[in-house]
Amino acid sequence: VIIREDAIQADVRRTVRDYVAREAPLEQVGVWERAGEYPAAFFDGLAHLGYFGVHLPEEQGGGGMGAAAMAIIGEELGRGGLELAVGYGLQAFPAANLCSYGTSAQIAAHLPRVLAHEARFAVGISEPDAGSDAAAVRTSARRVPGGFVVSGQKLWTSGAGVPNTTLQTLVRTEPAERRQDGLAVVLVPLDAPGVTLRRLSTVGRHLLGTYEVFLDDVEVGEDAVLGGPTEGWAVMASSLRMERIFAAAELAGCARTSLDLTVEYVRQRRQFGRPIGSFQTVAHTLAELHARLEAARLLVYRAAQDLDDGSADFGAGSGAKLLCSALFQEITQHGMQFLGGVGYTTEHPMERLWREARSVTVSGGTSEIQRTIIARSLGL
């Protein structure tokens, strides 16, 4: 279990922490959020540091540092803002799919540009009638001479509106008795003829935006399928396992910032002649949240190391995501309460953190689905 980081991991953590503090302080993220602006220069700088491929095999141009390094980056980006981490993850998981399942031509066409942040990926699994039940996707890829025609609709596609984005999308290629069969992951450039986007009006997710994607007879070549034409479920499943661990790490970072801001506030705010943090009900609540967050964080790194070691236990990543998402919500809920009226203004970052926290027990697989995965790992 990684409790002590090695020197290289510690260096990655320090570098990302410094970079976030310098380029994306909380106030700046608030400015981007209010403007609904994608912070392209922030991600350019992260790419320049060489971190988009930190988890990928060295022979494919990655850093060869595995899920643990990716979790460290996720936690540090999450300390700055949920969407800094989500924007990174949206490149990291599809890039991993590309390296595991892509042909050398597909890797050459996409990977260098994504690692340099000149091009981007978005992930299109969810549809109006396929949320938790992802195998229910109806968007189809019909074989035609020279390629496929993709038709259907995706929903909640985060980051789809950023220029030069290619969708990695789960589509049905053939009817199948077992619904997980007959699916493929197809690469669809979002500026292709037949693609229309509609940005959804949401409580948060304002830097990346989340979109409805309408695919109206979009023509793609033979080389657009990642993995085999009926291998889509396995392709997505492999990156979802990594995504849950990364999400848990980013949420631990978000929760830590929310807790730190609350502690800082209750130490300086005085009522009845003393800091409100000296009232036992406030101090004990924050002490307990601190202890639970430290424990959940250890589970994140245990899950990351399990993945790097090739362990087949799917429960740890889901457990980490379940606990860290709940803690982020709980901590921001208490943060809003202990900040009193100040929490309700849009002049303090707590309200943004609180709004962001609302999405995290839903996005990336709901808490109910994480419990189902854990239950399965227990043989239930």
Which residues are marked as active site?
A: 243
CB 11 within 8 A of CB 67: no
Q: Is 158 a binder of ligand FAD (CB under 6 A)?
A: yes
Smallest separation (angstroms) from ligand FAD to the CB of 169: 8
Q: Is 325 a binder of ligand FAD (CB under 6 A)?
A: no
Smallest separation (angstroms) from ligand FAD to the CB of 374: 13
Q: What is the dihedral of CA 85, 91, 92, 97, to 10 degrees?
A: 150
CB 73 within 8 A of CB 12: yes
CA distance 199 to 302: 37
Comparing CA positions, the residue from 251, 243, 308 lying closest to residue 9 is 308
In the range 183-242, which residues lie near ligand FAD by CB under 6 A?
205, 210
| Segment interacting with ligand FAD (CB under 6 A) among 103-111, 233-241, 333-341, 355-363 | 355-363
Q: Is 365 a binder of ligand FAD (CB under 6 A)?
A: yes
CB 274 within 8 A of CB 343: no
**Position with the least CB separation from ligand FAD:** 131
How big is the site for ligand FAD, counted in residues (CB under 6 A)?
Answer: 18
Query: Could you tell me which residues are beta bridge partners of residue 113?
Result: none
CB 58 within 8 A of CB 283: no
Interface pick for ligand FAD out of 28, 100, 363, 377 (rule CB under 6 A): 363
> Given the complex with ligand FAD, which of 132 and 164 has the nearer CB atom?
132
Give phi and psi for 369, each to the nearest 5.
-70, -35
Smallest separation (angstroms) from ligand FAD to the CB of 131: 2
| Coil/strand/helix, residue 127 | strand
Q: Is 153 a binder of ligand FAD (CB under 6 A)?
A: no
Smallest separation (angstroms) from ligand FAD to the CB of 158: 3
> Given the complex with ligand FAD, which of 19 and 88 has the nearer CB atom?
88
Interface pick for ligand FAD out of 91, 97, 157, 329 (rule CB under 6 A): 157
CA distance 13 to 29: 20
| Segment interacting with ligand FAD (CB under 6 A) among 154-162, 191-199, 318-326, 349-357 | 154-162
Smallest separation (angstroms) from ligand FAD to the CB of 286: 28
> Given the complex with ligand FAD, which of 97 and 157 has the nearer CB atom?
157
CB 87 within 8 A of CB 43: yes
CA distance 207 to 87: 9
Q: Is 377 a binder of ligand FAD (CB under 6 A)?
A: no
Give phi and psi for 142, each to the nearest 5.
-95, 130
> Given the complex with ligand FAD, which of 99 and 123 has the nearer CB atom?
123
* Residue carrying structure tokens 């109910």: 368
Task: List the x/- string, 91-130, binding to ligand FAD by CB under 6 A.
Answer: --------------------------------xxxx----
Interface pick for ligand FAD out of 25, 50, 57, 131 (rule CB under 6 A): 131
Give phi and psi for 360, each to the nearest 5.
-80, -10
Q: Is 359 a binder of ligand FAD (CB under 6 A)?
A: yes
Smallest separation (angstroms) from ligand FAD to the CB of 91: 12
CA distance 315 to 8: 28
Smallest separation (angstroms) from ligand FAD to the CB of 162: 12
- How many other C-beta atoms are found inside a 10 Å radius of the C-beta of residue 115? 21
Helices 40-48 and 7-23, axial angle in degrees (round to 10): 150
Q: Which residues bind ligand FAD (CB under 6 A)?
A: 123-126, 131-132, 156-158, 205, 210, 359, 362-363, 365-366, 368-369
